[in-house]
Structure 1
Amino acid sequence: MERFDFASPVFVTIDEESEEISSVTQAIEFLRRWPQGRRGPVYRCAVNCCQGAMDGSIEVEAARQGFVSFARISGILNREMAMPMMMGGRASHGALIK
Structure 2
Amino acid sequence: MEKSREFQPLAEKNTFSKFWASAFQVKEEAMTRDMFDRPLFVKKKHFIQEIGCLDDIFDFLEEWPEEKRGVAHDTMLRACRDAAVGKFPLDAVRDNFERFLRKNDMLASIEDIPFLSQGANDRNIGGA
The alignment's TM-score, normalised by the length of structure 1, stands at: 0.76
Q: What 5-or-longer segments of structure 2 have no aligned partner?
A: 1-30, 118-128
Deviation, 1:15, is: 1.1
Number of the residue aligned with 1:10? 40
The alignment's TM-score, normalised by the length of structure 2, stands at: 0.60
Q: Between the two proteins, what is the percent identity of the paired residues? A: 29
- Structure whose CA Rg is larger: 2
Number of the residue aligned with 1:33? 63
Higher relative contact order structure (alpha carbons within 8 Å, sequence separation ≥ 6): 1
Structure number with higher helix proportion? 2
Report the secondary structure of 1:78's partner residue. coil
Aligned residues: 84
Letter in 2 for 1:6: F
Number of the residue aligned with 1:20? 50
**Alpha-carbon separation, structure 1, partners of 2:58 and 2:87:** 16
> What RMSD, in angstroms, separates the aligned Cα atoms of the two structures?
1.9
Structure 1 residue ranges, 4+ long, deviating more than 6 angstroms after superposition: none
Give CA deviations for 1:37-82 in whole Å, capped at 9, x if unaligned: 1111111121112111101101111111121111111111112348
Structure number with higher strand proportion? 1
Deviation, 1:16, is: 3.3
